[in-house]
Structure 1
């Protein structure tokens, strides 16, 4: 039997934003190398990335950037984001998934098909609630839902999503969590109602009855999170569909990447023996790739560490062509600033990772064994900060704009207490040993009944 033809065809879909596509693209690259054929649905900005890994690119035309810039409330509103950036992407995403499944059936009439669906990609939901099947199918293919953030559930034994409450399940905190969940529920019911209206317009015959977060985590036959148990709060009555597969392994930097002219400063410093008085600590700071207000984290980090002769500060601005264009900004002598730098290029040299707690960046820190200073309150960032603190790998600054003094104290704390580095290395080993890519492939074979 042809080994390739024995494998199911995989139809992957991810929302068109770096934090949502990167993980599933990494998994798909591994699967292509393992002989799977992958059709990958996402936005046109990622066409080259999809084709580079050997997958077939399929365009989802939904564009969220202009909508976010022109229509989003000035005060961050998570329900607006869920309704309009993600929810309103559903018609385009559903159409793209339906047409791709039909294309696969025409091109491969005798092959099994399996869906890999990033949680907020949008296309799978209407099918799960009764929308007409794609032509050529008598049942919906099995689906793995890949969640690129923290575990979220309406379980009142867990802190509610958003505020970044620290995990401490005392009777008083359990009562607080329950009351907060109850206070939040009407807003999230409005999100569910928005999705129900969209799904009904696409032919869904059953309404969503779960709370929004539980609904989102149940779309696939299996929901996979690329993390380890030590990085998630204890989950009571863990759903059988939920799998923690471990962090995705560190990817080597592309041989095509052009390192900056100052790169020997980093490598020469790293080559100095431990204890050499000339060897400096490396502090790596990023504002992420979406919420790039450099005054929140990068500028205060540069400023507070400017007079230290024992550190090198490296700041990446998160987008090619980006610049610190404020006229008053003067780059300190101990700082190196670049528009774009792959995290995996610098993290092996870093002693501290200062980040705005995007989940992808956080897991890059884990997989490189680097302790962190985290600040962030938008989207899922408060939850990432709280979990990192609970896991013992980071100082949680608990704010979107923590200020220079707080950042400086946190960096000193990480550099002055080896428990953070030791814990970072423990978590790195735990996640590596879980073999995320092998575990994900195992789920595929399980769902097609050949494990």
Structure 2
């Protein structure tokens, strides 16, 4: 365990994120804490997030135009993406949204390091400019700390490849399975991505890429995972230190106004919340509307957040209530269950309040979140078919969450671990330890 008796000297830090809401938001919570502790923080991300970054007290630095985009309409920003699904969509996103901007991202990082040296660089996993930075010798770069905003994606003999949503299988059989899946996924499914990453590393780095592109956080000096061990698969063969600090954005008081029906939550019926998050909410038939219909005949109150969608009250079941957005800090203590497509932050918010989860996501990192919900015993996983969930299955799953006490018991167990975790404050402890053990030549290094 890292000692907390570190020097009080302020640090100079560079935080980097792709310009995507779910990537930037948890980093804002970390930056706010670091700035409040007296550290100087520059935050490299997209123009859309300038105001949010500056509100933390950090200095916003713009990504180059060819690495910036408006994530509110990804298909418009990347026309070649429209219509892709499943593996094809994942491969396209990884290559064009995340890997292609990496050289430009690295040039921006180098420029900022030349402008003012830093004690460490903090970066989320999909900022692939960090992959290229980590292809330099340790003496020619600052320490790099990876911030785990999605489930831990490190390759391990104990786990299947990330994004497949396959839980661990103990013993020799499981390790053989994992080895075969890792080999086939890295070489057959994401082989093109790896070849492109190796080409980029050869062009801008001083050594070859020594691991698969998706596993590049293993090259970092440390990983700070925004979760607790109780919600993450154990691994016995990790070379990089992984520090669990718990979720980092639970404490902020919401300013979202209460809907006019808020007092209906007091009628003693179990309250079930359903959400598709803030990104995957283009079609409410994917999850929200099927859930409202599935629970229409149950003695529960179903509360949905629907974003910009406008639903007529007369078209809803009698036990349904909807609002564009809801104050989660006031809603979640009242919940009996959460139905979600599986956002990492939302799942942790539910667990922090001991709320059992039905997770249905099967894209991006959501399949991994859903798999961990089921593996941990804190809820159930329901795989959609062609992007949609089966209403009868949703109803049956929610019935189980409400009637079987083990789900709430496991959610509370994980919630207790979250309550004991340091959150954003734990990031500084990790940083101090990494900086203290780094070779002196590394701190403040920019380009070779």
Q: 1:85 aligns with which of 74, 97, 101?
A: 97
Q: C-alpha distance in 1, partners of 2:10/2:181?
A: 46
Report deviation, 1:67. 5.3
Gaps of 5+ in 1: 106-111, 270-277
Q: 2:42 aligns with which of 36, 39, 47?
A: 39
Q: C-alpha distance in 2, partners of 1:382/1:56?
A: 35
Q: 1:22 maps to which residue?
A: 25
The reply on whether 1:420 has 2:407 as its aligned counterpart is yes
On the 8 A contact 2:28/2:53 being kept in 1, the answer is: yes
Report deviation, 1:219. 4.1
Q: 1:283 maps to which residue?
A: 272
1:299-318 equivalences under 5 Å are 299-308=289-298, 310-317=299-306
On the 8 A contact 1:13/1:116 being kept in 2, the answer is: yes
The reply on whether 1:122 has 2:112 as its aligned counterpart is no
Q: 1:375 maps to which residue?
A: 360
Q: C-alpha distance in 2, partners of 1:344/1:57?
A: 28
On the 8 A contact 2:43/2:53 being kept in 1, the answer is: yes
| Change in 2 beyond 3 A, CA 1:161/1:123 | closer
The superposition leaves residues 175-234 of structure 1 with CA deviations (integer Å, 9 ceiling, x where unpaired) of 433332232222323212122333444x2232213123322x224211111111111112
Deviation larger for 74-83 or 160-169: 160-169
Q: 1:71 maps to which residue?
A: 80
On the 8 A contact 2:291/2:395 being kept in 1, the answer is: yes
| Root mean square deviation, CA, Å | 2.7
Q: 1:404 aligns with which of 391, 396, 401?
A: 391
SS at match of 1:151: coil
1:339-354 equivalences under 5 Å are 339-354=324-339
SS at match of 2:100: helix
On the 8 A contact 2:33/2:425 being kept in 1, the answer is: no
Q: 1:189 aligns with which of 188, 191, 215?
A: 191
Normalising by the residue count of structure 1, what TM-score does the alignment of the two structures yield?
A: 0.86
SS at match of 2:351: helix
On the 8 A contact 2:158/2:175 being kept in 1, the answer is: yes
Deviation larger for 80-89 or 68-77: 68-77
Report deviation, 1:426. 1.2
Q: 2:259 maps to which residue?
A: 260
SS at match of 2:140: coil
Report deviation, 1:303. 0.7
Deviation larger for 182-191 or 59-68: 59-68
Q: C-alpha distance in 1, partners of 2:24/2:74?
A: 19
On the 8 A contact 2:29/2:249 being kept in 1, the answer is: no
Q: C-alpha distance in 2, partners of 1:285/1:4?
A: 46
The superposition leaves residues 139-164 of structure 1 with CA deviations (integer Å, 9 ceiling, x where unpaired) of 32212110211112332321222332
Normalising by the residue count of structure 2, what TM-score does the alignment of the two structures yield?
A: 0.86
Q: 1:275 maps to which residue?
A: none
| Change in 2 beyond 3 A, CA 1:258/1:96 | farther
The reply on whether 1:432 has 2:419 as its aligned counterpart is yes
On the 8 A contact 1:19/1:359 being kept in 2, the answer is: no
The superposition leaves residues 259-302 of structure 1 with CA deviations (integer Å, 9 ceiling, x where unpaired) of 32223333xx1xxxxxxxx4111111111222223111101001
Q: C-alpha distance in 2, partners of 1:335/1:436?
A: 34
Report deviation, 1:90. 1.3
1:132-147 equivalences under 5 Å are 139-147=140-148
SS at match of 1:47: helix
Q: C-alpha distance in 2, partners of 1:32/1:44?
A: 20
On the 8 A contact 2:358/2:382 being kept in 1, the answer is: yes
| Change in 2 beyond 3 A, CA 1:348/1:89 | farther
Q: C-alpha distance in 1, partners of 2:223/2:276?
A: 29
| Change in 2 beyond 3 A, CA 1:238/1:180 | closer
Q: C-alpha distance in 1, partners of 2:396/2:305?
A: 21
Q: 1:356 maps to which residue?
A: 341
Q: C-alpha distance in 2, partners of 1:75/1:251?
A: 36
Aligned residues: 420
SS at match of 1:314: strand
